[in-house]
Amino acid sequence: MTLEIKHDASRHRFTTEVDGLDAYVEYELEGGVMAITHTIVPAAIGGRGIAGALVQAAFDHARLEGLKVAPLCSYAQAWVGKHRDYADLLT
Kindly report the average pLDDT of the chain as a whole number: 97
Give the mean model confidence (pLDDT) for residues 81-88. 97
| Alpha-carbon span 72 to 14, nearest angstrom | 16
CATH topology of domain 6-83: Aminopeptidase (3.40.630)
C-beta separation of 65 from 17 below 8 A: no
Helix 74-82, helix 50-65: angle, nearest 10: 80
- Cα of first residue to Cα of last residue in the chain, in angstroms, is 31
**Tens digits of per-residue pLDDT, 16-45?**
999 999 999 999 999 999 999 999 999 999
Q: What percent of the chain has pLDDT over 70?
A: 100
